[in-house]
Amino acid sequence: MKKTRIHFEPRLWEGGKKRSGVQLMETFFRFNDLASSKKQLNSIMNYAVKRNTWIKEDPSVIFKFHQSMRSFVRAGYFMMLKEKKRDANTELENASPLVLGLLSEKEYQNPLLVFRKAFKEYSIKEFDYFMSGMVYFSLGVYDNLPERNIVSPYIHLLKMLDAAHLILERRKKISTT
C-alpha cells in the first residue's frame, strides 16, 4: 500500500512545480502590497507588547497574514541561497533617506545582504517562533510579555520586506528596458 503524505506547510503558490525565490516573492506581493504588509506587521507588534489590549481585526485576517509571512520568510531564504551567484549591485543614484527606508546604503545597493544578515542571525524556525508568538500575544489579553528579544526579528522582517520589494522593482525595470 502506498503511503501518501499530507503537507501542512503554508504555501502561497499552487501546484507542485518548483519556483524560484523571486517568483515566490512576486506571488507574495501580488496578494500583499508593501505598505499594508508593513502596517499589518507593525500593528501586530504594537498589540503584542501592550498589556490588556488585543488587536481589533478579524483573527482570520491575522492568521492569513501570519501564513503569508511564513511563506515570505521561506521564499527569502530560498532566494538568498539560489541568488548568490547573481550580482544585484546597482549604483546609488542620489537616493533620499525616504527611498532607503530602513535599508543602509550598502543594503540598498545589494538587497541580498539583508537576507544574508537576517538568516545569519536567525533561522527560519526562529522567525516562525517570533511570528507565531506575536500573533498569539496580539490576539488576546495576557499578563506576561514575550520572553525573548522581539525587536530584532521585527526589524529584520521589515528590512526583508523593503529589500524584496526593491529586488522585484529592479527586475521589473530591467525586463522593461
Query: Which DSSP string do the residues of 61-81 spell out, in sequence order?
Result: HHHHHHHHHHHHHHHHHHHHH
Band of residue 13 on the pLDDT scale cut at 50, 70, 90: very low
pLDDT in tens, 21-50: 788 889 999 999 999 999 999 999 988 888
Q: What is the dihedral of CA 111, 160, 95, 101, to 10 degrees?
A: -160
Give CB contacts under 8 A, 24+ apart, made by 13-17.
none
Higher pLDDT, 84 or 145: 145
> 26-30, 124-128, 145-149, 156-160: which range is least confident on average?
145-149
Give the integer Cα–Cα distance in Å for 114 and 66: 21
Quick one: cell of 9?
A: 506547510
Give the integer Cα–Cα distance in Å for 95 and 72: 26
